[in-house]
Every structure is written in C-alpha cells, then in structure tokens.
Amino acid sequence: MSKLGLDFKLVEEARQSARNIALDIQGLIDQHTSVTVERTVARLLGVDGVDPLDRPLPNVLVDKINSEGRLDLGIAYYLGNAMLHTGQEPQTIAEMVMKEELDLTRIPTHDFDEVKKKVLEVAQKTMVRIRKNRADREDFLRTLGEGPKPYLYVIVATGNIYEDVNQAKAAARQGADIIAVIRSTAQSLLDFVPYGPTTEGFGGTFATQENFRIMRSALDEVGQEVGRYIRLVNYASGLCMPEIAAMGALERLDVMLNDALYGILFRDINMKRTLVDQFFSRVINGYAGIIINTGEDNYLTTADAIEEAHTVLASQLINEQFALLAGLKEEQMGLGHAFEMNPKTENGFLLELAQAQMAREIFPNAPLKYMPPTKYMTGNIFKGHVQDALFNMVSIMTNQGIQLLGMLTEAIHTPFLQDRALAIENAKYIFNNMRDLGEEITFKENGIIQKRARQVLEDAHHMLKNIEVEGLMETIAQGKFAGVKRPVDGGKGLDGVVVKSDMYFNPFMDLMLGGASRE
C-alpha cells in the first residue's frame, strides 16, 4: 500500500513512456558497436597485458582493425579466424599482432560458421568463469551472510591500491558492508584501461584488473574475519564502460557504477558512444549478477534538489528501461538518488522523505542507492555530521537499500580513516536505534509529504511524455537534464563508434543476454 497515496496509473504511464524512449534508442544501439565494446570482446576472449608503450593489447588489436575501417565485423570474427589460421589462443594472437608478426585483416578467411564455432568454444570458458564467480558470491552470501539493509557503503580513495586495502579492511571491521574504490580523477576520459597494480592516483585509485583482484582478495579475507560477505564496487562509466564491466565480471566485483546517461551529461562523452557502450556493459553486469548503480544523484549536485527532483525520477525510469533491455533484473538495479536539499530549507526533511519514499514505492524491488549530502556540506564538520545523521534517518524511515555513507569532511578532503569510522558509527547508531520507524509511521493525507511526492511524480510524468515525443537525444541537447546541454554529435569518443555490418558478430551478446538465471 502506498504511504504517499501515489497514483500508480500515472506511474505506469510514465514507465510506458520511458519504455518507448528506451526502445527508440535501442534501435540505434543495435546498429552500432564501438572500440571499447570490441576491446571488451577481446578481453572476454582472453586478451590481456600491455605493449612496451603500456598500451593495452585489446587497444592494440582493435585500433589496428579500426584504423583500416574494418571493425564493422567485430573483433571476434578476426580473432576466430586467426585462431583457425594459427591454431593459437587469442592472447598469443594479440601478442603476435603487437609484434607485427600477424596482420589480422590480411590472413586467409575461414568459413564463417567455423569461425563462430571456434570463438564460442573459447567464449564458453569465460562464461564458465563468470558463472563460477556468480556462484561463489551466492555461496558466500549463504554461508557467511551479509549485513542488514541498508548496506553501509563507504569509499576509499587514497590513490594507492595497497593503502586502499588498509582502509577498506579497517572499514569492514568497523561495520562497512560495501567498499567502493573511487577512481582517479579523469580516468573516465581515458579510452583505455590502465594495467597492473597502481599506487599513484589523484582523488582515487585507477581501476585496473589487477587492482580489482588485489582488493577482491583483501575483502574476501576480511569478510571471513568479520563473518560477513563484503561487497566490492568500482566504476564502469566513461569511455571504457563495457571493458570495466567485463573486468568486474571476471574478478567478482559486486556493484558497478553504470548509468545510461552519466557519461554524456557529466563527462561530455558523446551520446551515441555512451548509449552503445552502456548496453553491452549492462548485458555483462546482468549476466554476472552485478548490481548496477545509476548516477541520478549527480543531477542534484549541479541543479537544485527541489526544482529538479522530477528529473531524478524521470532518469530513474529511463535507466530502468535501458537496464531491462539489457537483461538486468530489478534486484540488480541500484537506482541513484541523493540527499542534496539545502539544509536551510524549512521542512526540507519532509520533502526529502517524500522523494525517498516515492523512489521506494515506484521501484519496490530495486536496491536503491542513496547518496549523502555533499553539495551543502561545509568545513564545519560538526554540522556536517548532523546532516549525515538526517540522511541516515531518511534512509531507515524509507527502507533504502544501499546507503553511501556521508562523511563529515566531505567539503574538505577525501575520507580519512577516522572520518569513515565516524560515518559508520553514525549510520549504525541510527539504523539500529530507529530500526522499525518506517514500519511504524504513516503520512498525513494530503499533507506536505504526500503533496510533494505527487507533484514530483506529475512533473516526471510530464517530462517523460515530452521526451517520448521529442526523443531522448534531442532532450539532452536542450539541456533538460541537470541543466547540461550536449549536442548529438559533440563530446568525446564519437570516432570510436562504428556502424555494424550485417555479418557483425559478438558471441557474448547472445550468450549473456539471457542472464545467468535463465540457464
């Protein structure tokens, strides 16, 4: 039953509009591939490592073929053909290409069905590995268990993976359920994924497969110690969205930041590129049982939380539909929202409560990701700690899923060990002390809270209707999301988008799209 008296017919209509919006774009997606999508395929077929100039081999392979304008068949085809030709594994083939011992477009072509069969053989091994990771996670959750919801989610961001490990373990011991390793500034703009363990980053640590592995094993270790499975998060968004998703699937990450629009709006990445990339990345996440986190919270760090609340809901609905198209289940949709109301607002807490409860009711099965106050945090850490307390309170009152803990030093520096400890203490205290408050209270008919939620729903409904008519890309170009205007052909990475040929082949798309659950 709705505590807010929401009109669920309106919700259904809004959802239908979002579906149409997503379907409209899906047409475009289906016609394209991108350099990172192809590098992902290469990675999933086993290609890894870097050349003497530190260029990742997947880039070496894909760039070579793309420079000849022949990526429209997909890298899988070339690798398969080369496997048949050389009898070697993809990794060896990639190394041969790097050493210029082999030119993938210039070797004899084998029967296409034979090629496919060969590729699928190798792909199956990867599928097994990913399924095993998924099964391992489920095992851990069954045997070790997990913390109660909302999960306590904290970030580490030292720039040094080993220092991150210290901080992450300390946090787990204090009670954290989820650890996110924040990426180094601007990694999302790199059109390749760095390689190996790294110890120098700015405002975060590079997302590399080796760093994933190091952190994963540290968290498994501390998870045993504390008797809870500790989830690991990283960021897929950016110019390498599907590649990072693949790395996450291979290294048993549990959560991936992954939004259909974030890169466009906040990183000025080209629309087509982002839309194409997000699809494959989500297919992978879906199969690997990874929870995605979308980035609607970011809207409110730029735009006003009261005026622009409906854009958050509209975007959540669009993200949901894109996710469904990519085979993600509702239980994997960590849709984002954020406590970014100006603390001076009279009854601001009520408006926030309305928004959070609304998200809960409209997405009942999604492990919503709730982001802390950041914009209105100041150098007054004492006040900040209370802002974070109110944030925790809204969360427990509205039954949120994933609580990204606020830090009292948000406006000052990336978290110190003690900031994190205090954040965990704050959340644990409130979640326990108010455990069943949400269950216990109802909201006044037509009161401030109910009216606010209805208004936001109506505005989102209206916005989606408009987008349905105008098209998503056009809407973004007009600056209707987060006040940011992005032209259709502007932004980074458009040159990495390639129109597929009729014979285009990506083995993982079909293998994964069914989702692990359907096997």
Partner 1 sequence: MNNIDFTRIKPYGDTYNDGKIQLSFTLPVPYGEEAKEAGKKLLEKMGIEEPQITHAEEAGTGFTFIVAYGVVSHTVDYSAIEVPKVDSEVMDKYGVEDFIKEKIKRDVVIVGATTGFDAHTVGIDAIMNMKGYDGHYGLERYGGIEAVNMGSQVPNEELVARAIELGADAIIVSQVVTQKDVHIPNLTNLIELIEAEGLRDRMLVIAGGPRIGHELAVELGYDAGFGPGTYAEDVASYVVQEMVKRGLV
Which parts of this chain interact with partner 1 (CB under 8 A)?
157-160, 162-163, 166-167, 169-171, 173-174, 185-186, 189, 202-203, 266-268, 301-302, 375, 378-382, 409, 411-418, 421
Which of 63, 297, 388, 419 is catalytic? The answer is: 297
CB nearer to a second copy: pick between 72 and 425:
425
Helices 8-31 and 271-288 pack at an angle, to 10 degrees, of 110
Residue with tokens 């309305």: 354
The residue from 78, 206, 235, 299 that contacts ligand PLP (CB under 6 A) is: 235
Residue 457 CB, shortest distance to partner 1, in Å, is 26
Q: Which range binds ligand B12 by CB under 6 A, 177-185, 273-281, 359-367, 395-403?
A: 177-185
Return the one option of partner 1, a second copy, ligand PLP, none that residue 389 interacts with (CB less than 5 to 8 A, by type): a second copy
Residue 332 near residue 292, CB atoms below 8 Å = yes
Residue 183 CB, shortest distance to ligand B12, in Å, is 6
The closest residue (CB) to ligand PLP is 295
DSSP state of 269: B
Report the C-alpha gap between 213 and 255 in whole angstroms: 14
Return the one option of a second copy, partner 1, ligand PLP, none that residue 350 interacts with (CB less than 5 to 8 A, by type): a second copy
Residue 198 near residue 164, CB atoms below 8 Å = no
Report the C-alpha gap between 34 and 273 in whole angstroms: 7
Report the C-alpha gap between 322 and 325 in whole angstroms: 5
Q: DSSP 3-state assignment of 136?
A: helix
Report the C-alpha gap between 184 and 297 in whole angstroms: 20
Intra-chain end-to-end CA distance of the chain, in Å: 34
Which of 153, 229, 262, 504 is catalytic? The answer is: 262
Residue 64 CB, shortest distance to partner 1, in Å, is 29
Q: How far is CA 447 from CA 5, 344, 347, 454, in A?
A: 11, 20, 12, 11
- Binding mask 172-201 toward ligand PLP (x if CB under 6 A, else -) reads -----------x---xx-------------
CA neighbor of 201 nearest in space, from 229, 225, 231, 181: 181
Bridge partner residues of 232 (DSSP): 179
Q: Is the dihedral of CA 279, 281, 284, 287 positive or negative?
A: negative
Q: According to the binding rule CB under 8 A, does residue 502 interact with a second copy?
A: no
- Binding mask 395-424 toward ligand B12 (x if CB under 6 A, else -) reads ---------------xxxxx----------
How many residues in total does the chain contain?
519
Q: According to the binding rule CB under 8 A, does residue 417 interact with a second copy?
A: no
Which residues, in sequence order, are CB contacts of 250 under 8 Å at separation 6+?
A: 43, 44, 126, 129, 130, 133, 209
Which of 369, 480, 492, 500 is catalytic? The answer is: 369
Residue 274 near residue 260, CB atoms below 8 Å = yes
Report the C-alpha gap between 77 and 436 in whole angstroms: 56
Residue with tokens 């982001």: 371
Return the one option of ligand B12, ligand PLP, a second copy, none that residue 432 interacts with (CB less than 5 to 8 A, by type): a second copy
The values of phi and psi at residue 258, to 5°, are -165, 105
Return the one option of ligand B12, ligand PLP, partner 1, none that residue 238 interacts with (CB less than 5 to 8 A, by type): ligand PLP
CA angle 411-177-309, nearest 5°?
A: 50
For every residue of 151-183, DSSP letters joined together read EEEEEE--S-HHHHHHHHHHHHHHT-SEEEEPP
Residue 244 CB neighbours (<10 A): 32
CB nearer to a second copy: pick between 158 and 357:
357
The residue from 12, 185, 364, 429 that contacts a second copy (CB under 8 A) is: 429
Q: According to the binding rule CB under 6 A, does residue 375 interact with ligand B12?
A: yes
262 is catalytic: yes
DSSP state of 487: -
369 is catalytic: yes
Residue 241 CB, shortest distance to ligand PLP, in Å, is 9
Return the one option of a second copy, ligand PLP, ligand B12, none that residue 411 interacts with (CB less than 5 to 8 A, by type): ligand B12
Q: According to the binding rule CB under 6 A, does residue 49 interact with ligand B12?
A: no
Bridge partner residues of 154 (DSSP): 179
Site for a second copy in 385-414 (CB under 8 A): 385-387, 389-390, 393, 408
Q: According to the binding rule CB under 6 A, does residue 299 interact with ligand PLP?
A: no
Q: According to the binding rule CB under 8 A, does residue 143 interact with a second copy?
A: no
Q: According to the binding rule CB under 6 A, does residue 160 interact with ligand B12?
A: no
Return the one option of partner 1, a second copy, ligand PLP, none that residue 257 interacts with (CB less than 5 to 8 A, by type): ligand PLP
CB nearer to a second copy: pick between 241 and 422:
422
Instruction: Supply 444's token pair.
Output: 């006044």
- Binding mask 321-360 toward a second copy (x if CB under 8 A, else -) reads ----------------------xxxxxxxx----------
The b/e string for 264-274 (b: 16+ C-beta within 10 A; e otherwise) is: bbbbebbbbbb
Residue 422 near residue 408, CB atoms below 8 Å = yes
The residue from 69, 382, 502, 518 that contacts a second copy (CB under 8 A) is: 382
268 is catalytic: no
Residues that bind ligand PLP (CB under 6 A): 183, 187-188, 235, 237-238, 257, 259, 262, 267, 294-295, 298
Q: List residues with catalytic annotation.
A: 262, 297, 369
Interface residues with a second copy (CB under 8 A) are: 343-350, 380, 382-383, 385-387, 389-390, 393, 408, 422, 425-426, 429-430, 432-437, 439-444, 447-449
